[in-house]
Amino acid sequence: MTQSILFACNMNSVRSPMAAALLRRDGTGDFRVDSAGVYEGGLDPFVEIVMKELDVSMADHEPKSLEGVTFKDFDTVIALTPEAAVEARRYLPHESIEFWDIENPSDERGGREAILDAYRRVRDALSVRLKSRFPDLYKKP
């Protein structure tokens, strides 16, 4: 049976596309993953930079809003912002939605390196959380 996972955040521009891309890159087995936002945003250029450091292309990411998502198509919905959790609860029972408290790297202030470090922290935190939450998808065949 195919496991299906949706990651949701505010703008579908930073955390949710990162999580989906990391799972696509590292996961094995039978699964489907997607991402969406409360609002349809545009991919953040810092995401492209820090994901490219891991040889993950974000070129295929097409931002979309939760409004257009068919929630019944997903076994697991993971909200990465409180706003995304509230919006997802409009469509699904509360117990069907997980919330991961992941920092917003776009709140980082400072120079380019400080900002990139914030995005790397989020990328790496998502990677650790994914492996912990979906150990069966990380088992090598």
The tally of domains found in the chain comes to: 1
Residue 140 falls inside a structural domain: no
Distant-in-sequence, close-in-space partners of 78: CB < 8 Å, separation ≥ 6:
5, 6, 7, 8, 19, 97, 98, 99, 100, 133
Selected residue with higher pLDDT from 94 and 108: 108
CATH of the domain at 93: 3.40.50.2300
What residues make up the domain containing 86? 3-135
Residue 22 falls inside a structural domain: yes
The per-residue pLDDT for range 36-91, each reduced to its tens digit, is 999 988 889 999 999 999 999 999 899 999 998 998 899 899 999 999 999 999 88
Residue 98 falls inside a structural domain: yes
pTM of the model: 0.93
Taking 60 as the threshold, does the pLDDT of residue 141 lie above it?
Answer: no
| Percentage of residues of the chain with pLDDT beyond 70 | 97
| Percentage of residues of the chain with pLDDT beyond 90 | 77
Residue 101 falls inside a structural domain: yes
Q: Which two tokens stand for residue 7?
A: 């990651």
Q: Is 110 left (phi over 0), alpha (psi -120 to 50) or beta?
A: left
